[in-house]
Amino acid sequence: MNKETVNNYKKIFIYFLFFMALYACVIYFNFNLKYLLFNAGLSFIPYLLTSFCVNMKNKGLVCVPITLVAVVFYPNTLYMFTDLIHIRTSEFYSYSGGEMVYVMDYLNWVKLGVTVLLVLISLCLCFESFINILKIIRCYKYKFASFIMLLLFSAISGVALYIGRFLRYNSWNIFDIKEIINYLIYNTTQNDHMLIALFAIMHFIVILLFANLKSH
């Protein structure tokens, strides 16, 4: 087992350890965040599948279906960003007599911290999965090819986030692709196109930010 493989397994273990710690917080404090745990759990699927392929000595044809499944679940890693809409400002402050009054309940801040960290883990897994995909298709360290793949996956993620958040489809609804495409072609508005573009740009920025951090 080479050094890169060992480091990959270490990263998997660390991500899983952080996830289980946050899971324990949600259960211990009885937070109504089980949907976040589920969504964060889905973020592990593309990362684990692509890590498996990256760590294989002889990738061969077996990695083709595995990588395709990983790509189908890949947008779940960015979907967690949209779950931030569930944060309620009323849990942190209110207005009384025209003045802001803070809610001094530490549990609200614990809940906020758990939410943000779950989203952060998913965004980390988004980057890690994308890098793994680049390695699998042998684009890693080739700047132009990597940039083209980034544009492609940003577009895919933008459309997928719109479908998941607003049309309420899941990754396993891939077999309803004809129905989904028909809706996108005939029922979306200019505002919908702007939302898709916004989500695509978000993915693009997230990958570049993490890439910049990794380069230092």
Q: Residue 37 to residues 9, 24, 118, 164, 210: CA-CA distances in angstroms?
A: 22, 10, 8, 17, 23
Q: Residue 71 to residues 64, 143, 152: CA-CA distances in angstroms?
A: 11, 21, 12
Q: Give the integer Cα–Cα distance in Å for 92 and 112.
A: 10
Q: What is the pLDDT of residues 171-202, one digit of tens each?
A: 888 888 889 999 999 999 999 999 999 999 99
Say if residue 59's pLDDT is above 70.
Answer: no
- Domain residue ranges of the chain, discontinuous segments joined by +: 3-214
pLDDT of residue 213: 87
Q: What is the pLDDT of residues 71-113, one digit of tens each?
A: 999 999 999 999 988 888 888 888 888 888 888 899 999 999 9
Q: Give the integer Cα–Cα distance in Å for 145 and 151.
A: 10
pLDDT of residue 57: 67
Percent of the chain whose pLDDT exceeds 90: 68
pLDDT of residue 188: 93
Say if residue 3's pLDDT is above 80.
Answer: no
E-strand ranges in 65-198 read 93-96, 99-102
Q: Give the integer Cα–Cα distance in Å for 133 and 136.
A: 5
pLDDT of residue 193: 96
* pTM confidence score: 0.91
Backbone angles phi, psi at 136, to 5 degrees: -65, -45
